[in-house]
Amino acid sequence: MVVPYKHEPFTDFTIEENRKEMEAALKLVGGELGKEYPLIIGGERVMTEDKFVSENPGNRKQVVGYVSKATQDHAEKAHKIADETFETWRKWKPEHRANVLYRASAMIRRRKHEFSAYLVYEAGKPWKEADADTAEAIDFLEYYARQINRLKNGMPINSREIEDNQFNYIPLGVGVTISPWNFAFAIMAGTVAGPMVAGNTILLKPATTTPVVAYKFMEVLEEAGMPAGVVNYIPGSGAEIGDYLVDHPRTRFINFTGSRDVGVRIYERAAKVQKGQKWLKRVIAEMGGKDTIVVDKEADLELAAESIVSSAFGFSGQKCSACSRAVIHEDVYDQVLDRAVELTKELTVGATFNDNSNFMGPVNDQAAFDKVMKYVEIGKEEGRLMAGGEGDDSEGYFVKPTIFADIDPEARLMQEEIFGPVVAFTKAKDFDHALEIANNTDYGLTGAVISNNRARLEQAREDFHVGNLYFNRGCTGAIVGYQPFGGFNMSGTDSKAGGPDYLLHFLQPKTVTDQF
Ligand SMILES: NC(=O)c1ccc[n+]([C@@H]2O[C@H](COP(=O)([O-])OP(=O)(O)OC[C@H]3O[C@@H](n4cnc5c(N)ncnc54)[C@H](O)[C@@H]3O)[C@@H](O)[C@H]2O)c1
Ligand SMILES: N[C@@H](CCC=O)C(=O)O
């Protein structure tokens, strides 16, 4: 019998044995860098001339891998194979599909640090962040495998004397998973595993800067017993194959995680019924955030400063959940700001593949570096620079953790997703005003309130309009099965990854009445 779900524990790298194991994994993966990777279509390896160069963002000269780039012809072939494979995969017993995920998860757990090492090289993650990403990938596989077992017999409904009514869930068909680079393993694996275990077949288009870790995941799925053609690996550019896959009349659903602009584009395109299309496509689009921590006047101010700093600068602020706005009651504003600045100035920034002591690694690539530095310049015009404000892209893409004070709630720094280590502070005259500012964005993903006043926390529970709300802690770090994750408004369709309803997005209920 399968034991009840429990999330994968994080590794404590202050323990020497763990540190040594991670160093050994980094060495092992270091020896694998620079390889060429093919597409995987129906289990077949297809090497293309044209390749993505996946670089280490902490050392731009280091190539992590050369990854084959799918064309529209490859996408078409993969689509056909996924369509054919659906006819057999959908008939697999749900518990047998779940067994593939249990096996894959066990294999990843045994090679946990190896996967984290890929994330350190390919995404520039600090060890702790890489370890959390790998743990979350394991969690998604374990959790969704259990969830399909919960749904496999449908739901009870009523029957009259002369009939037997049954209500069951069946899969949808071929889905396209389009994943981001920032949780290059967890989100990629979760957005594949959920629909897959539900009986759908998948075309996986991973982010172009982190395709190698996705290839390693494909190898695990295959070794764990996934039949050829169930998940097809087709990295490619958004412009060349992204639109093609979204528009394809045989695409049944799109499971997207990424930026608001791309999510909205996919949503609009998928709404158009194409020639030969027999259904309305489903779109699951989890998008950006502009997340706020509110600090009340009655609050643990040390906790407030620590929560803001860790949520703003963990993984260089490159989380959709990252705190990019701190809204502080005017009575305690200066104290919280000063302490956050002090804590921020203690943080170290540098490469993480050769040094675990750096709190922050690089940002993702040149485009991310340029974007963050552009916002630093905007911030200098919109407010007071209190910490950071500098970047260095000579070896890798490093930006110092940056705090701006006294930013107007309507300013660009308070409204636009930066996706880097920049947080804007603003003053609220009372708690109502703080919530008003917190809700004043197009997004609605995460938020936190630091307060010792129960009535105000309860007020926030009702009025702070975000998909994931936290009290007296930071606003990042949702755990699969404990804090189902997804946002409101322009943060997306609120699919709640890692939640009990998630698989229903990839299933359709069918009612059968047998009259006697
Ligand atoms: N809400 C969430 O759960 C969540 C989680 C992680 C990241 N994010 C968001 O993701 C963004 C960062 O990730 P990113 O930079 O990889 O996002 P992105 O939108 O640039 O890319 C995401 C994916 O979309 C693909 N893509 C680009 N153009 C496309 C097109 N025309 N058609 C189809 N696919 C296309 C990319 O290649 C990539 O695989 C941030 O906005 C962040 O907030 C949200
Ligand atoms: N689920 C992650 C964020 C994912 C988006 O980047 C968190 O809760 O911090």
Domain ranges in the chain? 17-287+494-515, 291-471
Query: Is ligand 1 within 6 A of the CB of residue 286?
Result: yes
- Confirm if 263 and 287 have CB atoms less than 8 A apart: yes
Buried/exposed code over 39-48 (b: 16+ C-beta within 10 A; e: otherwise): bbbbbeebeb
Q: Which CATH class is domain 17-287+494-515?
A: alpha beta
Q: Is 323 a catalytic residue?
A: no
Mutational test site, ligand 2, from 182, 286, 320, max ligand atoms within 8 Å of CB = 320
Pocket of ligand 2 (CB under 6 A): 182-183, 319-321, 476-478, 485
Distance CA 435, CA 371 (A): 28
Looking at domain 291-471, what is its CATH homologous superfamily? Aldehyde Dehydrogenase; Chain A, domain 2 (3.40.309.10)
User: Nearest bound ligand to CA 489?
Assistant: 1
For residue 221, report the distance from its CA to the centre of ligand 2, in Å.
24
> Relative to the CA of 180, which ligand 2 atom is closest?
6
Q: Residue 397's closest CA among 59, 48, 108, 62?
A: 59
Overall size of the chain counted in residues: 516
Residue 7 corresponds to which amino acid?
A: H
pLDDT the model gives residue 504: 98
Query: Is ligand 1 within 6 A of the CB of residue 109?
Result: no
Query: Which segments in the chain show pLDDT lower than 70?
Result: none
- Confirm if 40 and 203 have CB atoms less than 8 A apart: no
For residue 262, report the distance from its CA to the centre of ligand 1, in Å.
6
pLDDT the model gives residue 365: 98
Distance CA 409, CA 230 (A): 47
Query: Is ligand 1 within 6 A of the CB of residue 418?
Result: no
Distance CA 157, CA 148 (A): 19
For residue 257, report the distance from its CA to the centre of ligand 2, in Å.
11
Query: Is ligand 1 within 6 A of the CB of residue 252?
Result: no
Q: CA angle, corner 287, sides to 286 and 288, nearest 5?
A: 145
Cβ-count burial of 36 within 10 angstroms (0-12 exposed, 13-18 middle, 19+ buried)? exposed
For helices 127-151 and 94-110, give the axis angle rounded to 10 degrees.
160
Distance CA 482, CA 497 (A): 11
Q: Which two tokens stand for residue 274?
A: 């194409």
Distances (CA, A) of 309 to 49, 137, 385, 421, 470: 45, 25, 15, 10, 15
- Confirm if 192 and 164 have CB atoms less than 8 A apart: no
Nearest CA to ligand 1 atom 27: 238
Q: Which two tokens stand for residue 190?
A: 């979760």
pLDDT the model gives residue 355: 84
pLDDT the model gives residue 1: 81
Strand order in the sheet with 468-471: 384-387, 402-405, 422-428, 323-329, 291-295, 446-450, 468-471
Instruction: Indicate which residue of 114, 286, 382, 417 is catalytic.
Output: 286
Q: Is 320 a catalytic residue?
A: yes
Q: Which two tokens stand for residue 273?
A: 């019924």
pLDDT the model gives residue 55: 97
User: Nearest bound ligand to CA 136?
Assistant: 2
For residue 460, report the distance from its CA to the centre of ligand 1, in Å.
30
Query: In terms of DSSP bridges, do strands 507-515 and 468-471 run parallel, antiparallel, or are they unpaired?
Result: unpaired
Query: Is ligand 1 within 6 A of the CB of residue 269?
Result: no
Instruction: Indicate which residue of 122, 129, 320, 475 is catalytic.
Output: 320
> Relative to the CA of 181, which ligand 1 atom is closest?
16
Distance CA 219, CA 308 (A): 39
ipTM value: 0.98
pTM over 0.90: yes
Query: Is ligand 1 within 6 A of the CB of residue 335?
Result: no
User: Nearest bound ligand to CA 191?
Assistant: 1
For residue 261, report the distance from its CA to the centre of ligand 1, in Å.
9
Distance CA 437, CA 443 (A): 12
Distance CA 309, CA 13 (A): 21
Phi, psi of 116 (to 5 degrees): -65, -35
User: Nearest bound ligand to CA 482?
Assistant: 2
